[in-house]
Amino acid sequence: MADLLIVGSFAFDTINTQTARRENVLGGTGSHASYGASFYTKVFASGRVGGADWKDEDSKMLQAHNINIENLQIVPGEKTTSWEAVYEADMNNRSTLSFCPNCCVEFHPNLTEAARKCPYIFLANNSPASQMEVIESAIAPKLIVADTMDYYINGFRGELDEVLKKVDGLILNDSEAQLLAGKTDLFECADEILKMGPNFVIIKKGAHGSLFQNKDGKVCVFPAYPSRKVIEPTGAGDCFAGAFMGYLASQENCDFETIKKAMIYATVTASFTIEDFSFDALKRSTRADIDRRFEEMREMLRF
């Protein structure tokens, strides 16, 4: 089992659905990815939060789940990044109502030696400049995978292109893949993205599952887990990415068969996220619960 470094954002979210509202719940790309990964391996989490509103209980919640937070920067007197959004009734579409970066206007990871030595690294959605700092400081990494979003694709394309030349894999959603590749068909998007540098790409399709493609021409497509209880989906994609990386690190193997298993484990781990707000459903879940859903998915896909 290998250690996994995850660098990303930590935030407080205010979420509105058509039936409920939750204010200032823990969110962010780094937090959701770290929690998803921690079901499988030890995680070193790096991000930046504000000492004015970050609570000791937030730190303890992460630490209790095998997440090392020595690289979590707590900035005295400042507030943590905040975000508010509203979901439409179908839970697939949402609108951002407000976003305040607060303490994260600029973030330099400044990692400890133990974090820099992690053989597996996931660069959760963050600025390409911060992602490149992690890449350049890493000590003999075995696998580096990144995420990105429309904000960086549109506004920091040159820096993002340099990151893509340095990573082994890229994980992003379907609309981001289309924007990055300039194509509509997702297989064509994957083809174009692979030309940019990564050895493989995973395109997340929300309720429609996920697609994997690599430079060797290997492709696999998996459906989403058939969840009957969808309360709120924030963080599901980040949990998927973290669980994918966590499983690979736990196996210390990145061959195609292991990647397919990692995709299914990522799918079922993310399925718990959508069953409640923030981390509430994940905190009620165990590895045994995840393994049961994995077996359900494997049986469902057998023919």
The per-residue pLDDT string of the chain (303 residues; one tens digit each, 9 = 90 and over) reads: 899 999 999 999 999 999 999 999 999 999 999 999 999 999 999 999 999 999 999 999 999 999 999 999 999 999 999 999 999 988 888 899 998 989 988 889 999 999 999 999 999 988 999 999 999 999 999 999 999 999 899 999 999 999 999 999 999 999 999 999 999 999 999 999 999 999 999 999 988 999 999 999 999 999 999 998 899 999 999 999 999 999 999 999 999 999 999 999 999 999 999 999 999 999 999 999 999 999 999 999 987
Per-residue tokens: 119: 């053989």
Supply φ then ψ for residue 128, to 5 degrees: -60, -30
- pTM for the predicted model, two decimal places: 0.96
What pLDDT does residue 1 have?
83
Q: Is the dihedral of CA 226, 228, 229, 231 positive or negative?
A: positive
Per-residue model confidence (pLDDT) at position 171: 97
pLDDT value of residue 142: 97
* Residues forming a β-bridge with 74: 49
Pairing of strands 4-7, 120-123: parallel
Report the pLDDT value the prediction gives residue 170, as an integer from 0 to 100: 98
What are the structural domains of the chain? 4-301 (3.40.1190.20)
For 244, the token pair is 């994918």
- Predicted pLDDT at 144: 98
Nearest to 235 by CA among 26, 78, 62: 26
Is there a contact between 46 and 72 (Cβ–Cβ < 8 Å)? yes
Q: What is the pLDDT of residue 209?
A: 95
* DSSP calls for 217-240: S-EEEEPPP--S--S--TTHHHHH
* Predicted pLDDT of residue 104: 86
Partners of 87 in the beta sheet? 94
